[in-house]
Structure 1
Amino acid sequence: MLTLQNLSIRAGVKPLLDSATLTVHPGQKIGLIGQNGVGKTTLFKTILNEVPIESGSVGIPQNWLIGSVEQEVSAKDINSLEYVTYGDSLYAESTERVKQAELANDNEALVSAYDGLDKISGYLVPNKAKQLLYGLGFSDADFEKNLSAFSGGWQVRLKLARALMQRADLLLLDEPTNHLDIEAVAWLEQWLKSYEGAVLIISHDRDFLDQVVQGIAHIHDQKITYYSGNFAAFERQRNEQLMQQQALHDKQKQQMQHLKSFIERFKAKASKAKQAQSRVKALERMEQVAAVQAMNPFIFKFLSPDHQPDPMMNITDLSFAYGDKSILKSVDLVLRAGDRIGLVGVNGSGKTTLLKQLVGELKPQTGKVIISKGVKIGYFAQHQIDSLNFDQSPLQHILAQENAPSDQESRDFLGQFGFSNTQCLEPIKAFSGGEKARLALAIIVYQKPNLIILDEPTNHLDMETRDALDMAIQEFAGAVILVTHDKHLLASISDQYWWVHQGKVTLYQGDLDGYLQQQLKAIKETQLENKVTRPGQSKKELRQQNAQQRRVLEDKIKPYQKEIKVLDKRMEQLQADLANYHAMMEDETLYDAANKQKLAECLKLQAGCSQELEEVEMRWLELEGLIEDIKAELES
């Protein structure tokens, strides 16, 4: 297992972790969370021995292989399939030995190299790589393309696929869902659920964490606190802690005020000097419990539009192509006032191209986009962030807007987006991606649009800013068109979905879960169509291999089913106990003064019973999910 023991690390002079502790067991999947800048990525670099440790230790079993996504593409002169397969280091070594033996015309070395390849089931590796690439949105035509032919976003996907190919005991994934579309995110969730190694994931996507992890490691105040369960369980536990912390803080404030009053009253009196002095020492010794700060420092809202034309936009017979490649064909759409549109479709299907048509950055080659009079669009996309003046401050950006507010009003406005007075005056070139994204959002909010178009707004945003954006859009009275891989945000905002697919844009008849299941089914069908067998393998051998794999999967289910039976009995008992405690508490005599101790005991037992029942139910659901995943694998 991986153990961080009293670990302290810095970024320059800034302390990030101070005596932090964490343990990651084999097969455990943990989400690593915390606000931007707390040291999550630096911690990964520390585990990979790329950053020095100030004090403490990182313990890694000698035989463990640590897998991660490489920062730069190591070689761009190979095709995508070879690049991904070489993520499996054993396969890469064996394949290189085969190539060297062939070049040297050394038959003995060649036999030995092929024997080594056979021992690691190397014949299965290219097929596994193809399955990964299909899941991440690549097609057969992409396999032979040189890496340099892919854009930056698609190269990020290739690096992720290469990392997933590693035979790692521990996989480190830093924001793996960035640059993925929501369909690929759904596929990645399923893949990680079945991954047998341990995984440590940095992510701000709450729904992704809910689906994948069984524990949360929260970095806060230079410490790491571990919470069992998914992100929803973390939020529940964290909120309970904060409420207790606030109550303790309030109580301590009263105690401290009492001590201060005594000291002030009696410090000048000789007869009370000793008691006053002891209270001074008590005040000094008292460990102050920090007051609970608002969990989210970002609270902003989109201003109510002055008016909302209806319809806001008519798109008729719109078509567009890049050269010979047709992107959109004969698109007909109507956007009504107050519509909440989730724009879905795999990367490359034309979502961003459609948005650029709507905001006028691209002109349709045929057809029209008719925008009603009075429509004011607020458009957020990555290139909008890149077009900010990096030599100017946030304050200068706001003061440059039409009908700009006063200097102080601008500072107050920027404060809602987490910019301090000092940051308001600093050039933004030194800002993080998240801070620049917040500034771009602030400018949109100030412009008071009645139509907001957001293209992947969450890529650089931490969880607190995402939550603030979610709340602001929900309260916004105008129309919204949203493209995002954040399932939580998309589901909470959208009331209908436009599906961009094969050049068409159609209204999807169903909810987001139904859409994603449809996409996963399509990916699975593509994977099944392209399964390969071992070279020279007969049909009989293939049937035997499939039967053996089926027996392995069936054996895997049995212990889960056995544990579920035990849990079923335990749940029945706990539910019966809980019903008894409820019946006891309906007895009015229990609340008499004479039964104070009995009441306290009953409340304690009830609370313990409720907590255990919740834990047992969570485990039952987890096991059911594992069994369903194995059954789905059996069916395939």
Structure 2
Amino acid sequence: LLFQRPDVLLLDEPTNHLDMPSVGWFSSFLKQYKGCFVLISHDRDFLNEQIDRVVSLELEGVRSYPGNYDKYLTQRAEEETILAGRAKNLKAERERLTVFINRFRAQANKAKAVQSRVKMLEKMDDVELYAKRNTMRFSFPPTERTVADVIRVEGLRKAYGSHVVFPGIDLTVRRGEKIGIIGVNGAGKTTLLRILAAELPHDGGNIRIGNGVEVGYYAQHHADTLDLTATVYEVVQRKSPDTPPARVRSILGAFMFSGDDVDKPIKVLSGGEKARVALARLLVKPGNLLLMDEPTNHLDLQSSEALAGSLKTFDGTLVFVSHNRSLIRTLADRIWNVEDGKVETYPGSLDEYLYSMALRRQAVAAADAGTAMRDPRGAVMPKGAISRDDEKQRKRREAENRQKRSTKLGPLEKLVGQLEERISVLESEQKARSAELSDPSVYDDAARRNKLLSDYQSSADKLEELTVRWEKSMAELEAAKAAFAAEE
């Protein structure tokens, strides 16, 4: 399809089931593509990389916003803030006029003024606030503390006939870690997770689960194995028969199944709804070790981000497979890269791991070309020097490069944080002033009213100034990040 070079591309979730290298290639292809395309995706990073306009199916109708997905969220939030402010001001004005009318209605000498305000009330327009869509809102209960080593894998071997997936690997999962498993399709990521979940037998080696560890397992195929004849409530309740019905219904409500929805048979649900049911089954009895395989597949973007936010607060241990870069960036504090029958472990975030990989690719390319190369500090490195570096030296260089990144981006990130904090404080103060201005008694005290209105306007001007500075600083920060990435 892509190499036919059509004039228009219609793309519906094109990154589903693509591994991260494939997503990277596809992203580069679309950036160079000269035609136009319409894209549906729940991959936030991919959307931000590709689109320059968002067409959003909102509850009030179809809306169009310039910019990428993050810009859309910002513009949408600004619209909601403006509407909310208008509604508050209108309510305050209505209440002020109503108080005046009720106070002076019986006085003949005020009849003209009262009638004038009655007409003003009648002419006032209503401000309709944006209706909110239901999204998943849930939190994991506190978990029981486990031993330090939650899982120990020693000499794990797995083969399918003559095809050896893992010849003998050693791994350790420690309490509280959030491990993101990445790798190309077919490398064995899902196989590894299924073995850890005891859903798939292994051919050799040992897997030791620590004392007190209760495993909760979610896989993308679980949504397709639900009992189609059962109802939503029955499927979730069967997972933990001892859970009180009220608790089951509460969990289902958090996953947007309320009222009669809980009595729907599974067979009539969409793929996304089935995925939410499977997640709800997990939440009924999650355990203190979660193993999750592509948990955001079949979920819309809002639900994916709600899931990421909830998993971030999970106080147990999490091991998950995902191609969703946004999810991995949000959650992972350790990376397992499955490749060529091995699992490389990296203690750090996805961006730090990708940065490390870029350094290594640069070193390999220089070694293959037989030329000297420069390390990120600018020093010339002679041919063959890379091969003599041991693991300790490599990690030291990577730490120095992370420090360099922090030095370059740290001041901008600090400035952005300070501006966000000041904006937050001002917004809180404005909220308090709005509440005061909505009190009719304020308008009986001219000095108090005038001061509040003056402070409100002054703070509104300051908010606008700070917002402009924040937007400029964010743009500088993003440009700095892009420049730093280009140096890699």
- State TM-score, norm by structure 2: 0.70
**Which residue of structure 1 lines up, in the alignment, with residue 129 of structure 2?**
290
In structure 1, distance between residues paired with 2:469 and 2:6: 34
Larger relative contact order (Cα-Cα within 8 Å, sequence gap ≥ 6): 2
**Which residue of structure 2 lines up, in the alignment, with residue 571 of structure 1?**
none
- Check conservation: 1:473, 1:493, Cα contact below 8 A: yes
Tell me the CA shift for residue 337 of structure 1: 1.0
**Which residue of structure 1 lines up, in the alignment, with residue 73 of structure 2?**
235
Aligned counterparts, 1:9-408, within 5 A: 162=1, 164-221=2-59, 223-255=61-93, 279=118, 286-290=125-129, 293=132, 297-408=135-246
In structure 2, distance between residues paired with 1:520 and 1:212: 26
In structure 2, distance between residues paired with 1:195 and 1:607: 38
Name the CA shift for 1:372/1:329 in 2 (closer, same or farther; >3 Å).
same
Name the CA shift for 1:200/1:490 in 2 (closer, same or farther; >3 Å).
same
**Which residue of structure 2 lines up, in the alignment, with residue 502 of structure 1?**
340
Q: How many residues align?
A: 398
In structure 1, distance between residues paired with 2:458 and 2:86: 23
Instruction: Select between 295-304 and 484-493 the one with higher mean Cα deviation.
Output: 295-304
In structure 1, distance between residues paired with 2:260 and 2:5: 47
**Which residue of structure 2 lines up, in the alignment, with residue 110 of structure 1?**
none
Name the CA shift for 1:610/1:410 in 2 (closer, same or farther; >3 Å).
closer
Render the CA deviation track for 1:399-454: whole Å, top value 9, x for unaligned. Answer: 22335333333222211111121211111221221111111111111103101111
Name the CA shift for 1:223/1:309 in 2 (closer, same or farther; >3 Å).
same
1:207 alignment partner AA = D
In structure 2, distance between residues paired with 1:623 and 1:490: 22
Name the CA shift for 1:291/1:502 in 2 (closer, same or farther; >3 Å).
closer
* Counterpart among 462, 465, 468 of residue 303 in structure 2: 465
**Which residue of structure 1 lines up, in the alignment, with residue 418 of structure 2?**
none
- Check conservation: 1:411, 1:421, Cα contact below 8 A: no
Tell me the CA shift for residue 217 of structure 1: 2.3
Render the CA deviation track for 1:78-103: whole Å, top value 9, x for unaligned. Answer: xxxxxxxxxxxxxxxxxxxxxxxxxx
In structure 1, distance between residues paired with 2:20 and 2:282: 25
* Counterpart among 244, 248, 251 of residue 410 in structure 1: 248
In structure 1, distance between residues paired with 2:120 and 2:181: 63
1:503 alignment partner AA = G
In structure 2, distance between residues paired with 1:336 and 1:624: 32
Q: Secondary structure at the match of 2:4?
A: coil
- Check conservation: 1:498, 1:506, Cα contact below 8 A: yes
In structure 1, distance between residues paired with 2:115 and 2:460: 41
Tell me the CA shift for residue 350 of structure 1: 0.2
Name the CA shift for 1:226/1:508 in 2 (closer, same or farther; >3 Å).
same
In structure 2, distance between residues paired with 1:199 and 1:212: 10
**Which residue of structure 2 lines up, in the alignment, with residue 480 of structure 1?**
318
Name the CA shift for 1:397/1:620 in 2 (closer, same or farther; >3 Å).
closer
Tell me the CA shift for residue 296 of structure 1: 6.3
- Check conservation: 1:317, 1:332, Cα contact below 8 A: yes
- Check conservation: 1:210, 1:230, Cα contact below 8 A: yes
Unaligned stretches of 5+ in structure 1? 1-161, 527-592
RMSD (Å) for aligned C-alpha atoms: 4.2
In structure 1, distance between residues paired with 2:26 and 2:70: 20
Tell me the CA shift for residue 390 of structure 1: 2.1
% of aligned pairs identical?
33
In structure 2, distance between residues paired with 1:462 and 1:269: 60
Tell me the CA shift for residue 347 of structure 1: 0.6
In structure 2, distance between residues paired with 1:371 and 1:339: 15
- Check conservation: 1:262, 1:276, Cα contact below 8 A: no
Tell me the CA shift for residue 254 of structure 1: 3.7
Name the CA shift for 1:433/1:266 in 2 (closer, same or farther; >3 Å).
farther
1:347 alignment partner AA = N
Tell me the CA shift for residue 179 of structure 1: 0.9
* Counterpart among 453, 473, 477 of residue 291 in structure 2: 453
In structure 2, distance between residues paired with 1:386 and 1:264: 64
Name the CA shift for 1:612/1:455 in 2 (closer, same or farther; >3 Å).
same
2:125 alignment partner AA = M
* Counterpart among 435, 443, 452 of residue 273 in structure 2: 435
Render the CA deviation track for 1:8-62: whole Å, top value 9, x for unaligned. Answer: xxxxxxxxxxxxxxxxxxxxxxxxxxxxxxxxxxxxxxxxxxxxxxxxxxxxxxx
- State TM-score, norm by structure 1: 0.54
Name the CA shift for 1:400/1:499 in 2 (closer, same or farther; >3 Å).
same
Name the CA shift for 1:301/1:487 in 2 (closer, same or farther; >3 Å).
same
Render the CA deviation track for 1:307-339: whole Å, top value 9, x for unaligned. Answer: 323211111111111121111110111111111
Unaligned stretches of 5+ in structure 2? 366-449
Tell me the CA shift for residue 393 of structure 1: 2.0
Tell me the CA shift for residue 230 of structure 1: 2.1
In structure 1, distance between residues paired with 2:112 and 2:467: 52
- Check conservation: 2:80, 2:130, Cα contact below 8 A: no
1:289 alignment partner AA = E
